[in-house]
Amino acid sequence: MARFTPRMVLFDLDGTLIDSVPDLLVAVNAMQDELGLPHRSEASVRNWVGNGIERLVERALTDDLHGKPEAALFERAMPVFKRHYAESNGKHSCVFPGVHEGIAYVKSLGLSVGCVTNKAAAFTLPLLQDMNLLDQFETVIAGDTLPMKKPDPAPLIYAAGWFKVHPSEALMIGDSISDVKAARTAGFSIICMSYGYNHGEDIRNYHPDAVIDSMAEFPNLIGRAS
């Protein structure tokens, strides 16, 4: 018997559907060049993503996961990063193995499907389009759709309302502690991907309902509600 029988499934974007770190790395180091600062490594950027581009820029400027740069430097850096990221977005990213199969399976069950991300819509929609995923989702809730973003539960609750689904009938697919916190507070079930971005920590430490290596495993976990 399936462990989850939701009416709606929401997918996180970065680290869940798409490996976007290569695009972000190009933009980070172009920003660093323009500001006369040292390049950052791919490993560092991979550790820093997941909380929106503002936090990524802060971390890149300080070379620290918890870093906060001087306000004047941050104000200079943000438009520079956005300009370079608009150029690199979608050029080096790739869809994780199993994603297309997983989404196809969920849709074959007749479930409502959406995407919820902390990435701004100006970057989210082109990336999904470039990766041939945009048409798979009935709604996309980006990081600037609402005043709050994950780990706040508001985007998940908004999606449940949009689909007219009770949170107890909703499933989140994510990869990070922000996804787990948002799902728990919203009343969603949550499956996490083992390969995602979680600041170097094993997502199992945060006790999602299940952890899998590929969305191709969905048939073993997700079924149609009776």
Give the catalytic positions in this structure.
12
Q: For residue 221, what are its two tokens?
A: 């976990």
Number of other CB atoms surrounding residue 39 within 10 Å? 12
Q: Is residue 36 packed enough to be buried (19+ CB in 10 Å), middle (13-18) or exposed (0-12)?
A: exposed
Give the containing element (helix H, strand E) for 46. Answer: helix 42-48
| Four-point Cα dihedral 145, 88, 100, 17, nearest 10 | -50
As a whole number of angstroms, the distance between CA 151 and CA 174 comes to 12
Place of tokens 């490594």: 41
Q: Is 98 helix (H, G, I), strand (E, B) or coil?
A: coil
Q: For residue 161, what are its two tokens?
A: 């309302």
